[in-house]
Amino acid sequence: MGKPVPRIREAVSPRPGPRVHRVRDAAATAAAKSPHTPAPLHVTTCAKVNLSLEIIRRREDGYHEIETIFQSIDLADAIEIELTSDARIEIECTDASIPTDERNLCHRAIVAMRPVAGASLGARMRIEKRIPSGAGLGGGSGNAAGILLAVCRGLRLDVAPEKLARIGATLGSDVPFFLHGGTMLGRGRGELLTPMEPLKQGVFVVVKPEVSIPTPWAYAQPTFGLTSHRPRLNLRAANSVLARFPRSALPFRNALEAAVVPAFPAVARLLEELLSEQPCFASMTGSGSAVYAIFTHEDRAVEVARRFAQRGLFASVAKPTRQAIEIR
Ligand code: C5P
């Protein structure tokens, strides 16, 4: 019965200073303690594929309620970041098509961390992109999640995982997933996560056609079928299938294919070509434009990927991972 009291007291008179003060100054305090530039952190951020994506309904806020199974894979970007306390954010990126100003998700991630790390938080970073953008592989979201974790690590901030996930969700629906990685069910707009049986086997071939697809475009198409008439995902059955994969086939689909495939013949063609290689599974990832196939043997995956790469397409071989971010 003692519990409600502090809550009421807190609501009437929010706790003043100490904790807020200590946290707000974290970037400046770290700089004062160590007048030298802090050692740069090396952040590796994985891509994801959606093993399944069902759209339940359009929401009032413009998003769609979905049920998706995320899987992180070891196709990854590398970010070198130095945290500073001069409130400046400087970004260099090897992919010239990606903006390096305040539109960049890494820039927004630093800004989003200021309420916990201090208003003076700044950063210099270099992003080496290997994950193509506009592909449904979550490259930008993974980068943002990597920056959130790097700020916590670099400034030794003890931010509750739920709080970090909430900050992540303000940057993008799948950022909370990247804070974990592995095999996860995503509900809501993709940010409500439940760990699933990890995918232990399978080698992915990820191929991207020349075209890139903005996520809002795909979700705005009236052509995909809402799946509210279908029974929602049975977690136990899905876990059992994942645990037995590749002995049992994945009974999943990506509902956004119905929107993307008719409008982008290149995506349809690549999917057909991948399927003709007789993989265990093939699908588009997220809102496209990348498609992937899963093979049991690496040699076979390498051979298939090489054939696509020879045609000048982005093609990569990747394995499932248990985590999406690594910081050294
Ligand atoms: O959250 P994120 O920034 O990745 O979403 C980009 C856009 O994709 C949203 O503005 C929305 O148009 C669409 N979207 C959606 N439903 C989701 C996720 C994304 O409609 N669950």
Question: In b/e form, how buried is each residue of 46-85, taking b as 16+ CB within 10 angstroms?
Answer: bbbbbbbbbbbeeeeeeebbbbbbbbbbebbbbbebbbbb
Task: Tell me the pLDDT tens digit for each residue of 244-288.
Answer: 999 999 999 999 999 999 999 999 999 999 999 999 999 999 999
Give 116: exposed, middle or buried? Use CB within 10 Å, 0-12, 13-18, 19+: buried
User: What tokens were used for 94?
Assistant: 């090897």
Radius of gyration of the chain (CA): 21
- Tell me if 172 CB under 6 Å of ligand 1: yes
Give 19-52 as a DSSP string: HHHHHHTHHHHHHHH--SPPPPEEEEEEEEEEEE
Most informative mutation of 63, 108, 143, 221 for ligand 1 (most atoms within 8 A of CB): 63
The neighbour count for residue 15, using CB atoms within 10 Å, is 10
Give the C-alpha separation, 62 to 92, whole Å: 32
Q: Which residues contact 223 (CB under 8 A, 6 or more apart)?
A: 258, 259, 262
Residue 230, pLDDT > 90, answer no
Q: Is the distance from the beta carbon of residue 217 to the nearest atom of ligand 1 less than 6 Å? A: no
Tell me the per-residue pLDDT of 10-60, one tens digit each, with 9 for 90 and over: 333 333 333 433 455 677 777 777 655 568 999 999 999 999 999 998 999
- What percent of the chain has pLDDT above 70? 88
* Cα–Cα distance, 115 to 271 (Å, whole number): 44
Marked catalytic residue, from 25, 48, 101, 129? 48
Q: Distance from the CA of 133 to the center of ligand 1, in angstroms? A: 15
Nearest Cα to 288, choosing from 307, 269, 309, 312? 269
Helix ranges (H only) for the chain are 4-12, 18-24, 26-33, 105-117, 139-154, 161-171, 175-180, 215-220, 235-244, 257-263, 265-276, 298-310
CATH architecture type of domain 197-318: 2-Layer Sandwich (3.30)
In the chain, domain spans: 41-193, 197-318
- Burial class of residue 169 in the structure, from the number of CB atoms within 10 Å of its CB (0-12 exposed, 13-18 middle, 19+ buried): middle
Residue 296: name the closest of 204, 206, 207 by CA: 204
- Nearest atom in ligand 1 to 174's CA: 4
Residue 160 CA from chain centroid, whole number? 19
Separation CA 204–CA 318 (nearest Å): 5
Q: Identify the architecture of domain 41-193 in CATH.
A: 2-Layer Sandwich (3.30)
- Going by alpha carbons, the residue nearest to atom 9 of ligand 1 is 216
pLDDT digits (tens, 9 = 90+) for 167-176: 999 999 999 9
Query: Phi and psi dihedrals of 234, rounded to 5?
Result: -90, 105
Residue 109 has pLDDT above 90, yes or no: yes
Given a cut of 60, whether residue 103 has pLDDT beyond it is: yes
> 189: Cβ below 6 Å to ligand 1?
yes
